[in-house]
A and B are shown apart, each in its own frame.
Chain A
Amino acid sequence: AQSVTQLGSHVSVSEGALVLLRCNYSSSVPPYLFWYVQYPNQGLQLLLKYTSAATLVKGINGFEAEFKKSETSFHLTKPSAHMSDAAEYFCAVRTSGGGADGLTFGKGTHLIIQP
């Protein structure tokens, strides 16, 4: 079964500093991986996705993630944090090869931006 582990339920960085949110996955099939962001009292919005093309994936709002098969990782980064990046971030993997049964999510990382 596919699973996702997000290291750190809370991450705090200073405005302008590097953002690094960690995600490790376990998958018995070639993985399709996703990062979603959730702002307070809103639904989830797709940041970026890996679908077996380029291993470095660029997303919205300056975020990017690198797929590393040898490390089973898909960490999310942003060179310079902005106050507006404060939100909950979820890593997810497609639950099965066919994709019909949705995504399996990590428990989330709350990103705090210090002024």
Chain B
Amino acid sequence: DAGITQSPRHKVTETGTPVTLRCHQTENHRYMYWYRQDPGHGLRLIHYSYGVKDTDKGEVSDGYSVSRSKTEDFLLTLESATSSQTSVYFCAISDTTSGGTGELFFGEGSRLTVL
């Protein structure tokens, strides 16, 4: 299994509070991603990173920010959480040395509930 650790795995918070989810990888992969999973929507890309300090927006980036100060860590921040951000969040990494297939390796997920 790819060495991807997400924390926290479960969090309950209140509307308006800031929340940070952390993804840590031990694979030294260049690309990292944050997806959210919601019933009926599958997985949707929030933000991704293609290197330290290099990030870009995905399909559903409004209300989220990210940072990557080290190769191994990719943080997802909700500046002011809303109930619509209740979801399961998945971190994924991509191995650019595997022929460029784009295959993703996923973490176990972080379940966030915003009351």
Chain A contact residues, CB within 8 Å of chain B: 9, 32, 34, 36, 41-46, 49, 51, 90, 94-95, 98-108
Contact = CB atoms under 8 A, between A and B. Distances in A.
A45 to B, nearest CB: 8
B57 to A, nearest CB: 10
Contacts, number: 67
B58 interface: yes
Contact of B45 (A45, A49, A99, A102): A102
Interface residues of B, number: 28
Interface of B: 4, 31, 33, 35, 40-45, 48, 50, 56, 58, 90, 92, 94, 99-109
A83 to B, nearest CB: 23
B40 A99 contact: no
Given A46-B103, A99-B102, 20 more contacts: A32-B102, A34-B103, A36-B106, A42-B108, A42-B109, A43-B106, A44-B43, A44-B106, A46-B104, A95-B45, A95-B102, A99-B94, A101-B58, A102-B31, A102-B48, A102-B104, A103-B102, A105-B42, A106-B42, A107-B40
